[in-house]
Amino acid sequence: MNFLRLFSVLLTLTALLPATEPVGRRDLRIHDPSTIVQADGTWWIFGTGRLLNAARSTDLQHWKKLPSPLSAPPAWAGDAAPDNKSNYYWAPDIIHRGNLYYLYYSVSEFGKNNSAIGLATSPTLNPQTSGYAWTDRGIVIRSVKGDHFNAIDPSILADTDGHLWMAFGSFWNGLFIVELNPATGLRIAPESPMHQVARDTEIEAATLYKKDGYYYLFFDRGLCCRGVKSTYRIVVGRSRAVTGPYLDDQGRDLNDGGGRAFLGATGDFIGPGHAGLLRDAAGVEWVSVHFYDGSNHGAPTLALRRVGWTEDGWPRVID
């Protein structure tokens, strides 16, 4: 068989093979997924959408979509982002505190920093449970034209010492951390310090995680929202103090271009973003992300990838 005929046969056989499913893919279309939380034997997730999206799962594989957690725009949303006529809210995060679930989310105008991070609370995540109702708690932090930051993409960390922290930010001067009031979930004081922890020309989607005495800051470099042309990739740094400085494995400050590579594109797994860390019932750690599925026209899709740790304490994706 000559080379050209062999090449033709190989192409034909390749075309007959089933498409390779992107690693970690789950059956949920979602963008900017929140941290996945467990309650009453069920896993819950929230994402970007009109008045936010929500879904639940019993196995972290198969997901059922739920009604939007917000029944109407909060009273302050029109003033915070007047050009957001669609009432699409972005990049939520969820945390359980005492007897309430705290749902943080972004109200913004695309490409502008007329933005606010809002808070709603509910005693339960299950719409079929008595008492289910989300109560608006107002604005946590707000940015306007002329500010050096953009108040979107919240990530909440309840520290082991009782303090509550929020990382946030997108483009402008980068990512920041502020302290929250652990009793209310709101900013601890109107003019409390904002600690800048990472900076780059294309940066957003911060995630805070604490393990073995280190605070880890995951975030995205690159551009989202372009389907298969998205360039998101996740990097990480760490610090002994929640307010920084955050350094990578080479000792470079994240404010000066540092960042250890954590998860990027491979094959049809394109533009992973908005990392969330969780531990399943067996104690296995996972990172949840959205990615743009190259096998499905770039649809934003949920993936879970297993996380391991190097001997010197750096996270890495192991499958």
What is the residue whose two structure tokens read 């989607």? 205
Longest dimension (CA), the chain: 77
CA atoms in the 13 A half-sphere facing the CB of 118: 25
> Is the link from the previous residue into 33 a cis peptide, with omega within 30 of 0?
no
In the residue annotation, 83 being an active-site residue is answered as no
Structure tokens at 164: 């509550």
Q: Which helix (H) or strand (E) holds 15?
A: helix 3-16
**How far is residue 40's CA from residue 17's CA, in Å, rounded to a whole number?**
41
In the residue annotation, 204 being an active-site residue is answered as yes
**How far is residue 75's CA from residue 176's CA, in Å, rounded to a whole number?**
26
**How far is residue 252's CA from residue 96's CA, in Å, rounded to a whole number?**
34
Catalytic residue, candidates 93, 179, 200, 204: 204
b/e per residue 69-90 (b: at least 16 CB within 10 A): bbeebbeebeebbeebeebbbb
**How far is residue 246's CA from residue 78's CA, in Å, rounded to a whole number?**
36
Total length of the chain:
319
Residues 6+ away with beta carbon under 8 Å from 15: none
Helix (H, G, I), strand (E, B) or coil at 80: helix
The edge-to-edge listing of strands for the beta sheet with 115-122 is 49-50, 88-97, 100-107, 115-122, 135-143
Catalytic residue, candidates 32, 220, 253, 268: 32
**How far is residue 20's CA from residue 308's CA, in Å, rounded to a whole number?**
24
Q: Show which residues are catalytic.
A: 32, 204
